[in-house]
């Protein structure tokens, strides 16, 4: 592949989203967590929190990357584990350091992704003062939806998490980024969606649970083929109809909005749909530069690059074969996907969901049938709307 003078492939897309693991442990012990309960064990050998030296070097590397590629904006995501275990002051200091070091004219959009149990009024005030918006992770808007989200003593996290969510909605809406929820097809989809709406999120991310052909998600068999059940697609279709037919837009649902955009031939940036190259990179608590965490659901060490912020630039990470594969679009997909009429919308689905132990990632998504069900359903609703038919 031809290269630029610095060795970065000419068609590489610079990183625009920097996910920084400010803390590598969690105060919860969610039983389904792919990060701590999955096959990857690299977290065990890493420091529990990123040191000031790691955070300082990370800020410098982000600024360096922004300058060398002339970026007009970067997204800084403060992550974990549970990032608030590091304290809001440390999060604010990192956000300020990145903002101070990037070139003039480069905007820094900062969010923290938290389980909401440690949110307090003073904590949110500190975060908001430093331009940090708060995204929260919940399994739904009711206690019954969150029974698997317990602390290490087995106590429910819902009372504290719901207080945190209400705090954002009632007193700090300007700092409220939204809610991330993993789809559970055993729940009632409309009840789940409306319970989340009650928490007044400005945006909602509905994510498919991480699974693959060698370790299928709950409710899906290993075998593909005609007649395969589509519990996740069915669930999402029901929620889509509730969202689509609402008399007013109650919240943004990224999966739905980006599917609609892709069906209309518009660009969309999501890891789960479309062919746009992924531009996210992770910095671990020890300074290691890694690919996105979702790969850790496939096998131990799947996200590793062998690079770190002390000895390598983010341009070095752009040269990594794993990163190149995530930016290769249709060229990285299985032949089945390349021949599919839904290619430009589906994009092969989430990269981690394509994994099979005997041949890697060059497979259709384990959710192939579910994605087809959802995409075709949305296409039908869109066709009705654009033809002037019923919504």
**Distance (Å, whole) CA 257 – CA 269:** 11
pTM of structure: 0.95
- Tell me the average pLDDT across 303-308: 98
User: Between these two residues, 115 and 9, which has the higher pLDDT value?
Assistant: 115
pLDDT in tens, 70-105: 999 999 999 999 999 999 999 999 999 999 999 999
300 and 40 Cβ atoms separated by less than 8 Å? yes
| pLDDT > 60? residue 374 | yes
Query: For residues 138, 142, 147 and 152, what is the CA-based torsion angle, rounded to 10 degrees?
Result: 60
pLDDT in tens, 117-136: 999 999 999 999 999 999 99
Q: Which long-range contacts (CB under 8 A, 24 or more apart) does 4-12 make?
A: 6/68, 6/315, 7/315, 7/319, 8/315, 8/318, 8/319, 9/318, 9/319, 9/324, 11/327, 12/318, 12/319, 12/324, 12/327
Q: Are strands 288-290 and 304-308 parallel, antiparallel or unpaired?
A: antiparallel
User: Domains along the chain?
Assistant: 14-114+278-327 (3.20.20.70)
pLDDT in tens, 127-180: 999 999 999 999 999 999 999 999 999 999 999 999 999 999 999 999 999 999
How confident is the model at residue 221, as a pLDDT? 75
| pLDDT > 50? residue 2 | no
How confident is the model at residue 11, as a pLDDT? 78
Closest by CA position to 272, among listed 378, 375, 192, 135: 375
**Distance (Å, whole) CA 5 – CA 105:** 26
Q: Are strands 17-21 and 73-79 parallel, antiparallel or unpaired?
A: parallel
How confident is the model at residue 226, as a pLDDT? 63
> Beta-carbon neighbour count of residue 246 at 10 Å?
12
Q: Copy the structure tokens of residue 12.
A: 């590489």
228 Cβ contact list (under 8 Å, min separation 6): 220, 221, 369
**Distance (Å, whole) CA 232 – CA 224:** 15
Residue 58 confidence class, pLDDT cut points 50, 70, 90: very high
Radius of gyration of the chain (CA): 21
């Amino acid at each position: 592949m031809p290269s630029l003078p610095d060795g970065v492939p000419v068609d590489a897309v610079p990183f625009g989203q920097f996910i920084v693991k400010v803390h590598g442990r969690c105060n919860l012990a969610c039983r389904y967590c792919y990060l701590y309960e999955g096959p990857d064990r690299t977290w065990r050998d890493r420091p529990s929190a990123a040191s000031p030296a790691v955070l300082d070097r990370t800020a410098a590397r982000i600024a360096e990357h922004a300058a060398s590629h002339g970026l007009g904006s970067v997204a800084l995501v403060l992550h974990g584990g549970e990032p608030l275990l590091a304290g809001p002051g440390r999060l604010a200091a990192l956000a300020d350091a990145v903002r101070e070091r990037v070139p003039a004219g480069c905007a820094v959009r900062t969010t923290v992704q938290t389980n909401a149990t440690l949110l307090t009024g003073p904590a949110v005030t500190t975060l908001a003062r430093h331009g940090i918006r708060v995204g929260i992770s919940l399994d739904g808007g009711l206690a019954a939806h969150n029974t698997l989200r317990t602390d290490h003593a087995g106590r429910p996290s819902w009372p504290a998490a719901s207080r945190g969510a209400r705090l954002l909605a009632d007193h700090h809406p300007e700092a409220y980024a939204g809610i991330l929820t993993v789809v559970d097809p055993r729940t009632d989809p409309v009840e789940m969606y409306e319970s989340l709406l009650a928490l007044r999120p400005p945006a909602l991310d509905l994510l498919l649970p991480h699974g693959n052909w060698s370790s299928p998600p709950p409710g899906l068999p290993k075998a593909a083929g005609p007649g395969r059940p589509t519990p996740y697609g069915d669930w999402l279709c029901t929620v889509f109809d509730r969202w689509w037919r609402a008399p007013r837009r109650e919240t943004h649902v990224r999966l739905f909005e980006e599917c609609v955009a892709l069906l209309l031939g518009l660009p969309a940036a999501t890891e789960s749909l479309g062919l746009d190259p992924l531009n996210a990179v992770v910095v671990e608590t020890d300074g290691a530069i890694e690919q996105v965490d979702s790969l850790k659901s496939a096998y131990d060490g799947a996200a590793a690059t062998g690079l770190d912020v002390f000895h390598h630039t983010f341009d070095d990470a752009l040269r990594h074969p794993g990163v190149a594969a995530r930016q290769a679009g249709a060229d990285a997909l299985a032949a089945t996907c390349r021949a599919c009429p839904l290619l430009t919308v589906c994009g092969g689905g989430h990269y981690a969901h394509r994994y099979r132990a005997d041949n890697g990632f060059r497979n259709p998504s384990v959710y192939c049938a579910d994605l087809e069900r959802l995409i075709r359903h949305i296409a039908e609703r869109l066709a009705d709307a654009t033809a002037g038919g019923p919504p």
